[in-house]
Amino acid sequence: MKFVDEALITVEAGNGGAGCLSFRREKYIPRGGPDGGDGGDGGSVVLLADENLNTLIDFRYQPRYRAPNGRPGAGRNKTGAGGNDLVLKVPVGTTVYNDETDTLIGEVVCNDDAITIANGGRGGLGNTRFKSSTNRAPRRTTRGSPGESFKLRLELRLLADVGLVGFPNAGKSTLISQMSAAKPKIADYPFTTLAPQLGVVSLAPHRSFMITDIPGLIPGAAKGAGLGIRFLRHLTRTRILLHLVDVAPIDNRDPVDIVETIADELEQFSPALAARERWLVLNKVDLVATDQREASIQSLKESFNWPFPVHVISGVTGEGCELLAYNLMTRLEVLMSERREDPEAESVERIWLDRMAEEAHKRIAELREKYRVKRKGNDLGDGDDDDDHEVEVILVRD
């Protein structure tokens, strides 16, 4: 199944039904008067969050949606039937933007959250509404108002507590498979991961958190190199980032340079995301000779001078992974407790999340426009600029 995290759709709410012009014509009731009913309201378009969905692929193949119109009124003061609302189910974590004005309309972050993205038109008034002491036979009605119509951009940002970043082949997929029940593709070549992977880390009953892995970053990712930075948007809902570093890279690159490169790419993408709490995870320690391991790791720790926790693990053997999971769970519980007890902390966190989302949206929009201009110059048309990959997004719940 394709993982699609962005889609353009056009939605049209239903028009209101017209009011009815009618007069009573009944035996033994002279001068019956007006009895035209009102028209029904048009149906609205509603987005509904469904936790069973994890991709926007359906909207890629069906981009236009229209809610039914309201029915016109009838005689005997009968109001026309209203149009049923059109409910579009989307994955939890979907954000909606007006594509023409680039303004945020809303987002759904919990299962069964619903937002109305296009309101249906109001039904017109029948001639009964215009009856008065001076106008006993009104011939005036109104037409129903048109429903709202918008061109919208749906953007999916996965909901996870912890996000993994690092170079390709840093061991992110191996780590997520070690800590959770997720089974991502693992291979010895770059960009094995082509789409975000989700896993649930369960430590005990009622003690679990979500972790997500995104495709690896390379130098120049902020400018579109490799798979670019389009998947970084999925980290803007996380609370902690894990920065994985290969302590024994095949190309003999300095791990310190690798960390600085990733930090620079994050800063270019979103300063707010780069300032997020980021733990350093030194991976593949099993590749370092046992007699040199302690000195080598200590030297790396001193070189980084890292302000947040530093963990040493081996994703292959599992060394240090259990301790890392428990420390993450403990830290997340502390952060959740602080937000519950301190309303100001909750407000600050909400502002921070909104800031990351806004920066990510703007940065990706800039790259999208850059690609569009480039394709137009190459006479390649003005089609969809998203990269589609035949990959599977895996969400495993224990």
Burial of 139 (0-12, 13-18, 19+ CB in 10 A): exposed
CATH of the domain spanning 6-156 = 2.70.210.12
Instruction: Tell me the two tokens of residue 328.
Output: 């993450």
Convert 298-308 to b/e letters by CB count within 10 Å (16 or more is b).
eebeeebeeee
Closest CA to 96 of 15, 157, 163: 157
188 pLDDT band (50/70/90 cuts)?
low
Query: Rounded mean pLDDT of 249-266?
Result: 84
pLDDT digit string, tens, across residues 341-355: 888 888 898 899 899
Q: What is the pLDDT of residues 298-321, one digit of tens each?
A: 888 888 878 899 999 998 899 999
- Is the confidence at residue 147, as pLDDT, over 80? yes
Q: How confident is the model over 73-131, as pLDDT tens digits? A: 999 999 999 999 999 999 999 999 999 999 999 999 999 999 999 999 999 999 999 99
Domain 6-156 shares a fold with domain 162-396? no
Residue tagged 């004005």 (tokens): 101
**7-20 pLDDT per residue, tens:** 999 999 999 999 99
Phi-psi region of 235 (alpha: psi -120 to 50; beta: other; left: phi over 0): alpha
Sequence ranges of the domains in the chain: 6-156, 162-396
Look at residue 201 and tell me whether its pLDDT is greater than 60: yes
Nearest to 276 by CA among 360, 176, 356: 356
Secondary structure of the chain: what % helix, strand, coil (to 5)?
30, 20, 50
Of residues 227, 222, 223, the one with CA closest to residue 213: 227
Q: How many helices (H) and strands (E) in the chain?
A: 7, 15
Q: Which residues pair with 64 in a beta bridge?
A: 10
Look up the CATH architecture of domain 162-396. 3-Layer(aba) Sandwich (3.40)
Nearest to residue 55, comparing CAs of 158, 161, 194? 158
| pLDDT given for residue 385 in this prediction | 45
Query: Given a cut of 60, is residue 382 above it in pLDDT?
Result: no
Which pLDDT value is given to residue 375? 76
The pLDDT mean for the chain works out to: 86
Q: Is the pLDDT of residue 1 over 70?
A: no
What is the pLDDT at residue 184? 73
Query: Does position 392 have pLDDT exceeding 80, yes or no?
Result: no
**Confidence bin at 192 (pLDDT 50/70/90):** low
